[in-house]
Structures are given as structure tokens and as C-alpha cells.
Amino acid sequence: MTPQKDTEKNASVEKSNKKEHLSEMQYFVTQKNGTEPPFFNEYWDYFEPGIYVDVVTGEVLFTSKDKFRSGCGWPSFSRPVDPSAVKLLPDASHGMVRTEVRSQSGDSHLGHVFDDGPGGGARYCINSAALRFIPKNEMQKEGYGYLLDSV
């Protein structure tokens, strides 16, 4: 089961209204498969306790507990909260072969996953523009209290 916030608070943005509700960069990254600049994004060096959710749908994606310093200039995580919250797709764009990471419920482009993470594990290299950070002290009021023990 994919962790999701309370249904009544999960106000998913309709496809036709996404441009209205997202910044230009958020729209470019999540809807046009874009990439924000490394080191010039909101969460690349942010390490406060909390969770990261899909900026479009509010679907829970990652926790601060699984975030690490990779030096790549984007937020890096060793794993998603629940593997079923993301889908992995082959990506041969830009002359490279990579694995794209998309959110399951919103189909938002998040970034890419590589096999050079801690201990030879995964490194989910995710665009900050695809994420909304919920600090631990606000998780309960935002409807994510059931995940407090995960942070």
C-alpha cells in the first residue's frame, strides 16, 4: 500500500490546472521531463527532518532519514518511502542510458536513479522542483502524522 495523506486533504491538481498551481520550473520538471540546475535548487543541501512529497499530488515519496550528501547538486535518497510510490522507466534521452523515476499517482517526472549510492546501492537523484518538503513538526497538521516514526 502506498502511503498517502488523508483523502480529503489530498487535493490533486487537475491536469488542465497544473500550469496555474505550479511554478514555471515545477511545471518544466514534472510535466515536461525537465531538469533544474545542479546546486541552484531548494533541497540539494537541505537536511532537516521531514518528508518529501510529489509537488503535484502530495503523494509521499522520500524521507529525510534516507537522504544523503552525494555531491551531485540535487537531492539524493537511498530509497523511496514505498517502492510502489514510484515507477522506474528506461530513458535513452540526451545520448545516455538511464533509469527515469516518476511518481506513481501523478506521473510526475522526478529525476533518475543510479547504482552509485551508499554501499553500492541506489541513488535516487531527484529534482527539488518535483518535491515539496514537509517538516517533521508540521507532518501531523498536514495529514502525514502516520509517518512520524519514519523520520
Interior/surface letters 68-86, b for 16+ CB within 10 angstroms, e for the rest? eebeeebbbbbbbbeeebb
Alpha carbons 46 and 63: distance in angstroms, whole number? 12
Q: Which of 78, 39, 65, 54 shows the shortest CA–CA distance to 133?
A: 54
Choosing from 55, 125, 129, 134, the catalytic residue is 125
Contact 122/79 with Cβ under 8 angstroms? yes
Q: Which of 2, 3, 151 shows the shortest CA–CA distance to 77?
A: 151
**72 given a catalytic annotation:** no
User: Hey, which residues are catalytic here?
Assistant: 125
